[in-house]
C-alpha cells in the first residue's frame, strides 16, 4: 500500500470520545490509537460501551464530545467525510446482517458496484476471489437463508473485504454462532490478521486474542479500565475488575 511511509502514523485516533444516549452516558472519554496492521481486541462486561465505541468509528453512532480521526479524516457532521470514512472501514456484525433478498455474490458485489462504481465483471471476479479466501466459493449463487451461521458470517466478512477497506471492525462476530461454527469464522479472522489487516475486534474469544492481538482493551462502564499486550493482560492484569472479569470468562 501507499501508506508504507507513514507506517507509524496511527490510522485510527480516538481522543476523549464521549457519547450519550439521551441522559445515559455510554462512553465517558475513550482514548485509543491504532497503527496500520495492528490487531486490537476489545472486551468487557455487557453494557460497557464496546459496541457503541466501535460504531462511533464509522459513525453508525454519533459521538458528542472528543475527536475521532480515521486515516487523516476527522469525523464530523460533514456527510462527505462520513462517506469517505465508511469506504475505508469494513464492518462485521454479530447478527451477520446479510441482505436476504440478494444472493451471496450480489451481497458482496453490491457496494463495489454502487459505491466504488466497478463494473459488474470486475466486482464478480473479486467477489469470487474473496469467497475462495473465506472457503465457500461454491455458495456464490445461494441466498443467505440457505447457509449455516458460520457460512453467513464468512460471507459477511467477504462482503466487508470487497470494498478493500483499510480497517476492519468486528462486533462480537462469533457470539451468535453455534460452538461448532465458531472456529471456521475465527480461522478466517486469524488469516486476515496475519495478512496485515488493521482490525478492531470486540470479542470474548480469548484464544483468538492470544494468537493474534497486538493490544487488548478492557472496557467497563464506558471507560477503558486497562490495556496492554495479551501477555500483560493474561499474565499480569493490574486492575481488580480486569482480574475478576477474566476469571469469569476464562473459567468456562
Partner 1 sequence: MTSTSDGVGPPSPPGAMEWIRKNLFSNWYNSLLTILGATVVYFTLINIITWVFNTADWRPVTVAPLLYLVGQYPREELWRAGISLLMVTFLVGMSWGVWKRYVRAFAIFMGILLGILAVFPLETTTITLPIRAFMLINPFLIYLGYRIGRLQSVHGRHVATLWLITLLLIPLVILPGFENSSLLPKVPTTVWGGLLITLLLSVGGIVLSFPIGVLLALGRRSSLPVVKLFSIFFIEVVRGVPLVTILFMFSIILALFLPSESRIDRVIRALMGTVVFSAAYTAENVRGGLQAIPPGQVEAAKAMGLKNFHITILIVLPQALRLVIPTIVGQFISLFKDTTLVYIVGINDLLGIGNAVLNLNPEFVRLQMEVYLFIAVIFWVFSYFMSYASLQLEKALGVGER
> In the complex with partner 1, which residue's Cβ is closer, 11 or 206?
11
Q: What is the distance in angstroms between the CA of the first residue and the CA of the last residue of the chain? A: 41
CA atoms within 13 A on the CB side of 49: 25
CB-wise, 169 or 186, nearer to Mg ion? 169
Residue 145 makes contact with ligand ATP by CB under 6 A: no
Specify whether the CB–CB gap between 127 and 154 falls below 8 A.
no
* Partner whose footprint covers residue 49, from ligand ATP, Mg ion, partner 1, none (CB < 5 to 8 Å by kind): ligand ATP
Rounded distance, CA 57 to CA 49, Å? 13
Shortest separation between residue 92's beta carbon and Mg ion, angstroms: 13
Q: Which of residues 38-77 bind Mg ion (CB under 5 A)?
A: 51
Window 171-190: residues binding ligand ATP (CB under 6 A): none
Contacts of 132 (CB under 8 A, 6+ apart): none
Pairing of strands 73-74, 65-70: antiparallel
Nearer to Mg ion, 93 or 230 (CB): 93
Within 10 Å of residue 88's Cβ, how many Cβ atoms? 18
User: Choosing among ligand ATP, partner 1, Mg ion, none, which partner's interface includes residue 160 (Cβ < 5 to 8 Å by kind)?
Assistant: partner 1
Q: Which three cell numbers stand for residue 81?
A: 467525510
Site string for ligand ATP, 27-66 (x = CB under 6 A): -------------------xxxxxxx--------------
Q: Rounded to an integer, what distance in angstroms lies between the CA atom of residue 118 and that of residue 10?
A: 29
Per-residue binder mask for ligand ATP (CB under 6 A), 7-26, x = binder: --------------x--x-x
Residues engaged in binding ligand ATP (CB under 6 A): 21, 24, 26, 46-52
Amino acid at each position: 500500500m501507499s501508506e508504507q511511509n507513514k507506517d507509524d502514523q496511527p490510522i485510527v485516533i480516538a481522543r476523549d470520545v464521549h457519547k450519550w444516549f439521551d441522559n445515559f452516558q455510554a462512553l465517558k472519554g475513550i482514548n485509543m490509537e491504532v497503527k496500520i496492521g495492528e490487531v486490537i481486541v476489545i472486551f468487557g462486561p455487557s453494557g460497557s460501551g464496546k459496541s457503541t465505541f466501535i460504531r462511533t468509528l464509522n459513525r453508525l453512532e454519533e459521538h458528542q464530545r472528543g475527536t475521532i480521526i480515521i486515516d487523516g479524516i476527522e469525523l464530523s457532521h460533514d456527510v462527505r467525510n462520513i462517506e469517505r470514512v465508511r469506504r475505508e472501514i469494513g464492518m462485521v456484525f454479530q447478527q451477520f446482517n446479510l441482505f436476504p433478498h440478494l444472493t451471496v455474490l450480489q451481497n458482496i458485489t453490491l457496494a463495489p458496484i454502487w459505491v466504488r462504481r466497478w463494473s459488474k465483471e470486475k466486482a464478480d471476479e473479486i467477489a469470487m476471489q474473496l469467497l475462495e479466501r473465506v472457503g465457500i466459493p461454491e455458495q456464490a449463487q445461494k441466498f443467505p437463508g440457505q447457509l449455516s451461521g458460520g457460512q453467513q458470517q464468512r460471507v459477511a466478512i467477504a462482503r466487508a473485504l470487497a470494498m478493500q477497506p483499510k480497517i476492519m471492525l468486528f462486533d462480537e462476530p462469533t457470539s451468535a454462532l453455534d460452538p461448532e461454527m465458531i472456529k471456521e469464522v475465527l480461522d478466517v479472522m486469524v488469516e486476515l490478521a496475519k495478512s496485515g489487516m488493521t482490525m478492531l475486534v470486540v470479542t470474548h474469544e480469548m484464544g483468538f486474542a492470544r494468537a493474534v492481538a497486538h493490544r487488548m482493551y478492557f472496557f467497563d462502564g464506558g471507560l477503558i479500565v486497562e490495556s496492554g499486550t495479551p501477555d500483560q493482560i493474561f499474565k499480569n492484569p493490574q486492575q481488580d475488575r480486569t482480574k475478576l472479569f477474566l476469571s469469569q470468562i476464562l473459567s468456562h
